[in-house]
Amino acid sequence: MTRALILGGTSDAGQLAAEIARAGIDAVYSYGGRTRAPADQPLPTRIGGFGGVSGLADYIRCETITHVIDATHPFAAEMSRNAVAACAETGTPLIALERAPWAKAPGDNWIEVMDVNAAAAALPESPAKVFLAIGRQHIAPFAAKPQHAYTLRFVDPPEASLPFAADVIVSRGPFTLQSELETMCARGIAWVVARNSGGEGAHAKIDAARTLGLPVIMISRPQLPQRKRVESVAEVMQWLGHRTCLGA
Ligand code: 3Y8
Ligand code: NAP
């Protein structure tokens, strides 16, 4: 009897949860607990870490999980690594639902960097208006360049003081081209820093930067361990042994 654990926290995970609920498959949706009010899901939901690999392995055993679907964000590398290790330890089938990286389109002006430290180093020395659309957790390296006028975007209002002066937009996305153009024009943004998240939910800022002819410092994804990986909900449902109305 199938009992699936969805490691969620993304729009793709939400679409998968809806399909699994529609199919009547026994499943649990898991959030890491990063935001104050995560979106409701049509499945029983748990919030918070498992306690590393051993905690996840114990959870799989205690909850008699038969399948794990890693539908976390491509930058949630620690969760993905833990899922590979815990599923190997418990002999539990694992699949990753992971959207393809964004590819440069004609007219894009990307400076591709390996990580957030390299992104900060890639900014110019002369003061500029910079849109840091990479959330809250990994902004500290930009304190090394306080000469810039930063605009940040968080899901929740900041709880502590920031490592550098910045203007914070509080919004959870998904975002539209129109709203991104308005944000960037109103603030005279000259540089955009983004993660190569893939998917639709964060891509509007990339289209807006292209429209405005702005450079984008694009942070590449972290390396993840080998595991079975698909890009569509229908393929996950097939893997679970269910055909869907999406066709597969
Ligand atoms: C808690 C669940 C949905 C899901 C929405 C997607 C789209 C909007 C784009 C920008 C980039 C960023 C950030 C982003 C996007 C979707 C999707 C996506 C980027 C929620 C959510 C959780 C989180 C966690 C949060 C991180 C932060 C990253 C903001 C819910 C809304 C910047 C990633 O304050 C914090 O600690 C926030 C942390 C991880 C990255 C960071 O380091 O700050 N996501 N985002 C999940 C959990 O607890 O398990 O609250 O409902 C989910 C979504 N975020 O359809 O409703 O699917 O990608 N999320 C990035 O791309 O760099 C925003 O502003 O342009
Ligand atoms: P991370 O750094 O890879 O994970 C750090 C720890 O957080 C994990 O080891 C685990 O704790 C816990 N955790 C993460 N995701 C979890 C989940 N879905 N369920 C239960 N515990 C989870 O993760 P992150 O990058 O902070 O991402 C956290 C969440 O936000 C994920 O759900 C992810 O899908 C979502 N998200 C992240 C981004 C991003 O840019 N990183 C963007 C959009 C959405 P334990 O070791 O204690 O088990």
Tokens of 164: 């550098």
Predicted pLDDT at 245: 58
Decide if pLDDT at 43 tops 50.
yes
Predicted pLDDT at 244: 60
Residue type at 22 in one-letter notation: R
Asked whether the beta carbons of 151 and 169 are under 8 A apart, the reply is: yes
pLDDT (mean) for 90-115: 97
Asked whether the beta carbons of 84 and 72 are under 8 A apart, the reply is: no
d(CA 61, CA 182): 49
- Per the omega criterion (within 30 degrees of 0), is the bond before 93 cis? no
Percentage of residues in the chain having pLDDT higher than 70: 98
CB of 222 closer than 6 angstroms to any ligand 1 atom: no
Tens-digit pLDDT profile for residues 165-211: 999 999 998 899 999 999 999 999 999 999 999 998 899 999 999 99
Decide if pLDDT at 14 tops 50.
yes
Predicted pLDDT at 243: 66
CB of 7 closer than 6 angstroms to any ligand 2 atom: yes
Fold of 3-99+223-239: Rossmann fold (3.40.50)
Predicted pLDDT at 248: 43
Please list the residue range(s) of the chain that carry CATH number 3.40.50.720.
Answer: 3-99+223-239, 110-219
Tens-digit pLDDT profile for residues 129-171: 999 999 999 999 999 999 999 999 999 999 989 999 999 999 9
Architecture of domain 110-219: 3-Layer(aba) Sandwich (3.40)
To test the ligand 1 pocket, which listed residue (72, 75, 155, 219) has its Cβ within 8 A of the most ligand atoms? Answer: 155
Widest CA span of the chain, in angstroms? 61
Tokens of 82: 């833990």
